[in-house]
Structure 1
Amino acid sequence: MKHSLKIALTAGFLLTSCAPLQIYYKEGETVARMDRDQTTCEVAALRQVPADIRSRYIPPVYDRYRICHANGYCRWHSRLISPGRFESYDANAPLRGKVADQCMADQGYVKARIKRCDASTTRATPMRATQVLPPLTAKSCAIRFRSGRWQIVTPGDG
């Protein structure tokens, strides 16, 4: 694997591991049921709002800078910051996301953002993935595992 790809993957992992956990939440529901409901809603949304893949051209980005010589003569130069490129995107993705969100809301779920647990809470917590969505409070936080699973913790609760 190329060095730059390794760096990008590592940076992506670190960013997602530091970001809040975003899930569909319904107190008392099992995580397995929530996952099934989410998959069902995403498949239904894809049927209702199919992919519309489009391409766009992103122009190159240059940085202009000036070099001046001892004799007072100055010249402007350009440095390529980002080359021009074509990019593909799904024009229907935002609408499809709304349809999936509505489907989950119709089943009683709300979107929840749960902050990441601090290091001391993580160290003090026996690690086991959440199986049933617990009650949430302002103290609730989430621990992410490398497997992609997570644990919701409410410090101070026994």
Structure 2
Amino acid sequence: MNLYRVPFLICVVLTLSGCLPTNVYYREGAPVSGVERDRTQCDVAALRQVPVRTLTRFIPPTYSYRPICNGAGKCRTVRVLLSPGRWESYDANEGLRARVARQCMADQGYQKVSLKPCPPEVVEATVITATRVQPPLTENSCAIRIKGGKYQIVNPE
């Protein structure tokens, strides 16, 4: 198996298993549709304030060295290419734009919260429906992920 694919596969498995927290913008009593609308507006405003700035950089190749020995025990070291050099484009303003969008959401009273996944017994005891209005949060609040990027906030007793 390609070793570069292992971290990707781990991420896919964890995401599919629902083990990761659900990160949402939260304001008690806010309708989820309003949160999504406000987030879109903040993303658009941030893009206007901090436009895309595409830069290109060269990532040099990486090599490893390993010994190769013949039947007589004579060895030599050979260079092995681990990763070829490549050109990569990136948005130099991406981080700043994300901070501007987060600040916009904070200015509207939202905070970014990370809700732990609900344990299986809570999921089994819950009628699954996407949250429409964000409820008050408690220290026991958890989230159930639903298809299509939706979620349900649960406050088990």
Which residue is 1:56 aligned to? 57
Asked if residue 42 in structure 1 is aligned to residue 43 in structure 2, the reply is yes
CA distance in 2 between counterparts of 1:9 and 1:87 reads 19
> What TM-score, normalized by structure 1, do the two folds share?
0.82
CA distance in 2 between counterparts of 1:120 and 1:107 reads 35
> What is the root-mean-square deviation of aligned Cα atoms in Å?
2.3
Q: 1:60 to 1:124 in 2, by over 3 A?
A: farther
Q: Which amino acid aligns with 2:31?
A: T
Structure 1 stretches of 4+ moved >4 Å = 7-13
CA distance in 2 between counterparts of 1:154 and 1:66 reads 60
CA distance in 2 between counterparts of 1:55 and 1:135 reads 46
CA distance in 2 between counterparts of 1:20 and 1:122 reads 15
| CA deviation map 1:31-67 (0-9, x unaligned) | 0011111111111111111110111122222232223
Which residue is 1:120 aligned to? 121
Alpha-carbon shift at residue 105 of structure 1 (Å): 0.8
Contiguous gaps of at least 5 residues in structure 1: 1-6
Which residue is 1:153 aligned to? 154
Which residue is 2:3 aligned to? none
> What TM-score, normalized by structure 2, do the two folds share?
0.83
CA distance in 1 between counterparts of 2:9 and 2:76 reads 40
Which residue is 1:111 aligned to? 112
Which residue is 1:88 aligned to? 89
Look up the SS of the partner of 2:147 in the other structure: coil
The percentage of counterpart residues that share the same residue type is 51
CA distance in 2 between counterparts of 1:30 and 1:13 reads 30
CA distance in 2 between counterparts of 1:8 and 1:147 reads 24
CA distance in 2 between counterparts of 1:48 and 1:40 reads 12
CA distance in 2 between counterparts of 1:77 and 1:33 reads 60
CA distance in 2 between counterparts of 1:78 and 1:121 reads 55
Q: Which amino acid aligns with 1:92?
A: N
Q: 1:9 to 1:145 in 2, by over 3 A?
A: farther
Q: Which amino acid aligns with 1:51?
A: V
Q: Which amino acid aligns with 1:30?
A: P
Q: Which amino acid aligns with 2:127?
A: P
